[in-house]
Chain A
Amino acid sequence: MTAPAIRLRELCKTYLVPEREAGTGAALRSLFHRRMRAVAAVDGLNFDLAPGEIVGFLGPNGAGKTTTLKMLAGLLHPTAGECRVLDHVPWKRERDFLRQITLVMGQRNQLVWDIPAADSFELNRAIYRLPVADYRRTLDELTGLLDLGPLLKVPVRNLSLGERMKCEVAAALLHRPQVVFLDEPTIGLDVTMQRRIRTFIAEYNHRYGATILLTSHYMADVEALCKRVIVIHHGRLLFDGDLADLVQQFTAHKTIVVQLEDCAADLHFYGELVDCSDGRFTLRVPKAETAHVTERLLADLPVIDLLVEDPPIEEVIDRVFTQETGRENLNTTPMERGQADKKDIQGYA
């Protein structure tokens, strides 16, 4: 088996945060005695990424995603534990290591503001010591994939947010890194641009076999790109596996959308009524009962249209996040999972 591109073992990062109550008295006291609180941003993470994987890294705000990414990129020293990227210790910041990775942070610009992107690219070429031929070839490919053509000659400050993001991504990939960290790359972009970036990331991974670790709050990013997701919360691993499995594990319900003539009918016997507008009923039913309820609806009512859906993935993720302690590691056996689901249903109603 090939060595993992990224490996984390019991990785921890604890910040010391000064703590103080409000008020002038407390402010004065803090001059003499500073109270510090230890915040465990990352608390014992373990996972491996094989070369060429695209993995989604999910978690609510403050879960420790950006902290983990920064440790992997060498920007932060871990407090404890071990992490290796391409067989280097990231925080040593060896030149060889830095030449093989990149970190793209959404909404942060590394491009020089007042000059055309092409000039910033030339600067990057000098920084990464890229041979001219390689650089031209990579630039051409990136220009094609991202449709950059006319944008390169325009000063960056005159580009729209989406165009700027495309150029930022290109700048970050000029040196063809083997490991790509993407921290919310599509944040703030319009739908079309998000799609474009997503397609690009998939294509880049396909062409160059780069290992990609992506954090995003847009489920569409994760759904489109990542077969595997890692979910963390409070700095701890909640889930590590296929996205499909995650949905399976955390949905106790399915949604049935029934189109009738109007909202007059009373459907509460069939399932929990979520919403009705213009005859379009949205019902939530326990997963196990879906077939049965659907059958009954079709038999009993003049159904114009019927649709069975998984709940939106945002809802699933939200449920994952709001699971509190006692269910910290969810890679449990099916038996335990079944028991847990039952508990969920009871809690949910």
Chain B
Amino acid sequence: MKLLLQIRHLLNLYVQQFKTTFATMVQYRASLVIWTISAVLEPLVYLIVWSTVSNGSGGSVGSYTAQGFAAYYIALMIVNQVTYTWIMYEYEYRVRQGYLSFALLRPVHPIHADIADNLSSKLITLPLVLIVAAVLALLFHPSAGLHAWALLAFLPALVLAFLVRFLIEWTLALAAFWTTRVSALNQVYFVLMLFLSGQIAPLGLFPPWLQTVAAVLPFRWMLGFPVELLVGRLTPLQSLEGLGVQAAWLVLSLLLVRVVWRAGVRVYSAVGA
């Protein structure tokens, strides 16, 4: 009973935060356009480059044709838009400006407001990205094996990917408690993401040993896996296993959040606001 009440309160909080972020977002129309463009540009560049390489390499690279790359990167564009965060910059800013004190004074874990803020920001940009994706589909003729079961599995995979990515990036954002040089840490993380999540190249194109490394690290499960699932590059067994790994990473990242947050608050409190 009490749990139900807690959940109701939490849901109400999410709704209010949604409204707040949404109201703020719609005021920045130019920024919305810019954010949409940057969300689209990177996958588009990869798409074009890999298509070109593919056409120049006798029609395919590995198991990917130009149309295969098109499908992959259009899917990546969408999945990335759903899962990405900017929370590390947020926390660096908050710690520096002393706004973290307000978060610490509230009787609720700050991660909720952050999740709500993240999702609500995407309410506008995601439809825009979907429109661009549709246009790109017309231009580049993607080809993918779409299966009903894959589409069904895609939704939980997407949700898990979002949660794992958010929780881990949120934990990394807390580095702001320990150092002012958060940007350096961010850079390392983004490079790892770039190579090991399936952004710069589909992971299927990597040598087997690198694929194993990528499977052990969390990056693939934050982005690449749902993409591969959507474009039909995984067997049902692989997809099921993948969902299992995502679930495991979810548990791990929840633990990480708890531990690092506690430690971070203690450090923050020691050093002062």
Q: Is the CB of A115 within 8 A of B107?
A: no
| Interface-lining segment among A104-112, A185-193, A275-283, A321-329 | A104-112
Residues of the B chain whose Cβ atoms lie less than 8 Å from the Cβ of A76: 269-270, 272-273
Interface residues on A, range: 20 to 34
Cα-based distance from A125 to B15 in the complex (angstroms): 12
In the complex, the answer to whether B23 meets A119 with C-beta atoms within 8 Å is: yes
Is A217 on the interface with B (CB-CB < 8 A)?
no
Q: Is the CB of A127 within 8 A of B273?
A: no
Q: Does B270 contact A77, Cβ atoms closer than 8 Å?
A: yes
* Chain B, Cβ-Cβ closest to A155: B27
Bound-state CA distance A101–B101 (Å) is 14
- Measured in the bound complex, the distance between the Cα atoms of B12 and A98 in whole Å is 19
Decide if the interface of chain A is mainly helix, strand, loop or mixed: mixed
Task: Establish whether residues B105 and A115, one from each chain, have CB atoms under 8 Å apart when the complex forms.
Answer: no
Q: Which residues of A contact B20 (CB under 8 A)?
A: 112, 115, 119-120, 123
A119 contacts B19, CB within 8 Å? yes
Given A112-B20, A115-B20, A129-B9, A70 and B107 contact (CB-CB distance below 8 Å): no
| A93 contacts B104, C-beta separation under 8 Å | yes
Which residues of chain A are near B17, meaning CB under 8 Å? Answer: 123, 126
CB nearest to B270 among chain A residues: A77
Q: Would you call B98 and A108 a contact (CB within 8 A)? A: yes
Residue of A nearest to B8 (CB): A129
Q: Which residues of B in the span 1-39 have a Cβ within 8 Å of any Cβ on A?
A: 9, 12-13, 15-17, 19-20, 23-24, 27
Specify which chain A residues have a CB less than 8 angstroms from the CB of B265 in the assembled complex.
93
Point out the residues of chain A lying under 8 angstroms from B104, CB to CB: 74-75, 93
Give complex CA distance A101, B107 in Å: 10
Q: Are B106 and A127 in contact (CB under 8 A)?
A: yes
A83 at interface by CB-CB < 8 Å: no
With A77-B266, A95-B107, A115-B20 already in contact, the answer to whether A126 and B15 are too (CB < 8 A) is yes
CA distance A91 to B205 in the complex (A): 51
Give how many A-B residue pairs fall within 8 Å (CB-CB): 75
CB pair B271–A15 under 8 Å, yes or no, is yes
In contact, B273 and A125 (Cβ under 8 angstroms): no
Binary contact readout B61-83 vs A (1 if CB under 8 angstroms, 0 otherwise): 00000000000000000000000
Given contacts A126-B13, A127-B108, A77 and B272 within 8 Å (CB-CB): no
Q: Mark B234-273, 1 if CB is under 8 A from A, else 0.
A: 0000000000000000000000000000000110011111
Q: Kindly state the separation between the CA atoms of A279 and B89 in the bound complex, as whole angstroms.
A: 64
In the complex, whether A73 has a CB less than 8 A from a CB of chain B is: yes
Q: Mark A109-146, 1 if CB is under 8 A from B, else 0.
A: 01011110001101101111100000000000000000
The 7 closest A-B CB pairs, nearest first, are A98-B107, A126-B16, A77-B269, A95-B107, A126-B13, A114-B24, A110-B102
Could you list 28 examples of A-B contacts with CB < 8 Å?
A15-B271, A15-B272, A67-B272, A70-B273, A74-B104, A75-B101, A75-B104, A75-B105, A76-B270, A77-B269, A95-B107, A96-B107, A98-B105, A98-B106, A102-B105, A103-B101, A108-B101, A110-B99, A110-B102, A112-B24, A114-B23, A115-B20, A115-B24, A119-B19, A119-B23, A126-B13, A127-B13, A128-B107
A contact set with B: CB distance below 8 Å:
15, 67, 70, 73-77, 91, 93, 95-96, 98-99, 101-103, 105, 108, 110, 112-115, 119-120, 122-123, 125-129
Q: Supply 11 further A-B pairs (C-beta < 8 A) apart from A75-B105, A125-B16, A126-B9.
A: A67-B272, A75-B269, A93-B265, A95-B107, A108-B98, A108-B99, A110-B102, A119-B19, A122-B16, A127-B107, A128-B106
